[in-house]
């Protein structure tokens, strides 16, 4: 049977690609990159045959004309390539992806699947830094974390448990690393699609609804709106979340509703769903935080953590 041999969580921010020079001398930014490098070394040491990567989509692959809660890429997968992230075809472990979809359905967990999936930095940023060279096939799992209604954290935890069981039930004998991409606390200047108050709000909702064939046309103004935002980071929440992750105490966070997550961690903090899903997929584990730094220049509390299966948590 196959087995999960490592779990990694890592924050993402395309500003790390496009505006690194602004923070290159800051200890926090350096520490975060060193944490990513340590995590990448752990991934390499785990010798994975496949990587399941769980992340979000920032309206460059999914749009408001169709927004599944959970989608698994089972065949062709293409990186959007925005802001210096990997673009073009990505290698997919189709056999493992199909096994995962089948197992979820057999256990009454409905997930969408795609034979032609476009992903953005919600998937590719972690691949860029944690799996250099993209020489390991992936199974992309995209969660809706930005377009209400969102799947609950409890639902995401159950999804992770089912992913772990599906991997264990796969008879191919593969070593699988599970990566969570996104978070931690941050607030993006993004409206809820049903509450638009400004010209920027209306522009963004139009981009999210109509961008399926023209998302690049909206990129310049989208980027300007994000760059104009003020940082809203909650280091206390982030550190507590990382501590709970390392000690297996996420039951408290899993009980949060969406409003509480947003109140404490911002609308971007909803991306902790990927971490919760990853942790549940790994199961009992020894965890540790590799890096944490609130980096206002990137608008985000940036963390890296690793979970090694084992223990009694």
Beta bridge partners of 63: 66
Burial of 135 from C-beta contacts in 10 A (0-12 / 13-18 / 19+): exposed
Distance CA 227, CA 17 (A): 14
DSSP string, 184-252: SSB--S---TT---SHHHHHHHHHHHH-TTTGGGGHHHHHHHHHTPPP---HHHHHHHHHHHHHT-THH
Set 12, 125, 157, 186: catalytic member? 186
Residue 186 annotated as catalytic: yes
Distance CA 84, CA 46 (A): 27
SS (H, E, C) 32-62: HHHHHHHHHHHHHHCCCCEEEEEECCCCCCC
Set 12, 121, 125, 157: catalytic member? 121
End-to-end CA distance of the chain: 23
Distance CA 166, CA 4 (A): 10
What is the number of residues in the chain?
A: 313
Sign of torsion over alpha carbons 37, 38, 39, 44: positive
Render the burial of 259-271: b for 16+ CB within 10 Å, e for the rest.
Answer: eebbebbbbbbbb
Q: From the CA atom positions of the chain, what is the Rg in Å?
A: 18
Residue 19 annotated as catalytic: no
Q: Do residues 254 and 157 make contact, with C-beta atoms less than 8 angstroms apart?
A: yes
**Active-site residue set:** 121, 186
């Amino acid at each position: 049977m196959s087995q999960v041999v490592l779990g990694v969580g890592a924050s993402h921010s395309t500003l790390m690609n496009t505006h690194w020079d602004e923070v290159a001398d800051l200890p926090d930014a350096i520490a975060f990159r060193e944490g990513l490098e340590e995590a990448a070394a752990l991934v390499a040491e785990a010798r994975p045959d496949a990587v399941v990567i769980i992340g979000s989509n920032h309206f460059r692959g999914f749009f408001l004309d169709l927004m599944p809660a959970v989608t698994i890429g089972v065949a062709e997968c293409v990186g959007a390539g925005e802001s210096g992230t990997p673009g073009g075809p990505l290698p997919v472990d189709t056999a493992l992806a199909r096994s995962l979809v089948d197992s979820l359905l057999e256990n009454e967990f409905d997930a969408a699947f795609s034979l032609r999936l476009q992903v953005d930095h919600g998937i590719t940023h972690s691949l860029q830094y944690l799996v250099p060279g993209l020489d390991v096939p992936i199974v992309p799992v995209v969660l809706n974390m930005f377009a209400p209604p969102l799947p609950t954290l409890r639902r995401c935890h159950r999804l992770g448990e089912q992913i772990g069981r599906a991997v264990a039930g796969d008879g191919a004998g593969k070593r699988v690393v599970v990566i969570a991409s996104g978070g931690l606390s941050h607030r993006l200047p993004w409206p809820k699609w049903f509450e638009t108050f400004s010209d920027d709000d209306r522009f963004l909702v139009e981009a999210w609804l109509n961008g399926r064939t023209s998302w690049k046309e909206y990129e310049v103004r989208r980027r300007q709106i994000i760059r104009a935002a003020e940082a809203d980071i909650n280091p206390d929440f982030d550190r507590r979340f990382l501590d709970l992750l390392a000690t297996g105490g996420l039951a408290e966070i899993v009980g949060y509703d969406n409003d509480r997550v947003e109140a404490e961690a911002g609308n971007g903090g909803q991306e902790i769903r990927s971490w919760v899903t990853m942790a549940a997929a790994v199961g009992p584990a020894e965890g540790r935080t590799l890096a944490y730094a609130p980096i206002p220049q990137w608008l985000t509390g940036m963390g890296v953590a690793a979970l090694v299966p084992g223990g009694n948590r």
